[in-house]
Amino acid sequence: MKDFLWKVLLKSGLSPETTYLPKAVHPCHVRAPDMSIPAALAEARMVIFGAVDELRERIGLDPQTIDILITANSIFCPTPSLASMVVNRYKLRKDIQAYHLGGMGCANGTIGVNLVRDMLKVREVAIGVNLVRDMLKAHPNSRLLFVCTEVVSYCAYPGNDKARMVANAIFRMGATAVLFSNRPSDGCVAKYVLDHAVRVHAAASDTAFNSMSWSPDPEGINGIFLSKCIVEEAGKTIEDVLRAITPRVMTWAQYGQAALHEGRRRLLGAPLPPYRPDYTRTRIDHFLVHAGGYAVLKGLQEGLGLPSAAMIPSFAALREYGNTSSSTTWYALGYTEACEGVKKGQRVFQLGVGGGMKGGANVWRALRDVDGSGHAAWAHLRGRRITEADLPRGIDKDVCRHPRAVQLMAMATAFPMGPGGPGGVGAGPEGALLDNPLEAPVEIDYADEH
């Protein structure tokens, strides 16, 4: 089994020297994984508080100015909730609206923005078992803190089912804290405006619904189950997402090409495939794709028809931090800002997909030049861009490059967990604003935990 796990790790696109595991499941620190609730809570506190603290320090955020809090963690859902844990730590106001999103998988960091947008337009109040939607007013002058993570110590799998062992090799520790606002006064400091947001839910398909789950193996040991068809189902979901978002990012020239394509198909009855624009020529300047694993990224790259250069931020996030679930696209944004830079007016395309299957896309427009050199998650690069030659596995040329593979092999033998760097704390990216601050949410800043 250790040979199987090592092969998965070598093909995963993760560096064996940089990604992070909590001590509770790190083979260098323990002989057997500790998947207890206390261990999971310790990890949650470390990554969540680390990201929020970095965000507070960067922008001077006063916790008392936060009106709405949303936390997202798919599998580990303790009572009190992770949202309540944040409220307690930072002593947030008594009228805070606090919500926790569970069971929504890796797409949560992207499709959660859809909820953020709606929350800053329509206020929802939970009373007992009822959810009462106050439709009488928008919810102006509000700030929303969105915290994404996945507590991997609780999800570690010590069994022998290969379909569940794969998650041990690709999932890693991380978190992101993002600040949104619809305060007019925050417009002068916001980094991006949310131009478009779409989401797709494919759970009506039994195959899609069963492609990923948290479930027991035949011996009753819980683990993250990844079916062989998960990449295919993710691709189908992304196709639906692209079908919804593409018309919103096409240029006028591409609209003309699409019209000619459709006219040719109808007049000639030619069996032509649907029109697919060249995404490098749309209004998108930067791409942030969910770093679920090497195969997932390659599949999404082929679906979008993107060159390797456009995929570097996502592959860099995978190399340095692994699959951090709902945080992956935010880590990619941190790299883009820190090493490539985002100019005023440029658009950033955020694409996520996860269990369910669910998928979503957001288009952010930069309100100013963004210099992310202060991102702690990428400070070690000192602004140096990662190239394809730096990756553990090539993008266009599929070659594995693990210089210490033989030496690190021993680290994976303690139990079925892939090797990772020592647990740590850190930070990353920043923020955004919608067109009408009275009707749409603003992302002010964000931070990544590393």
Which residues are designated catalytic?
106, 201, 286, 290, 323
Q: Cα dihedral angle (223, 225, 231, 232), rounded to 10 degrees?
A: -170
* Residue position matching structure tokens 């250790």: 2
DSSP string, 33-63: ----HHHHHHHHHHHHHHHHHHHHHHHT--G
What number of other Cβ atoms are within 10 A of residue 426's Cβ?
22
State CA 36 to chain mean position distance. 25
d(CA 323, CA 169): 9
* Residue position matching structure tokens 């790259």: 301
Positive or negative CA dihedral for 107, 328, 332, 395?
A: negative
* Residue position matching structure tokens 């994976």: 412
Cβ atoms of 205 and 360 closer than 8 Å? no
Beta bridge partners of 130: 127
d(CA 117, CA 197): 9
Three-state secondary structure along 235-259? HHHHHHHHHHHHHHCCCHHHHHHHH
Residue 432, helix vs strand vs coil: coil
What is Dmax (Cα atoms) for the chain?
68
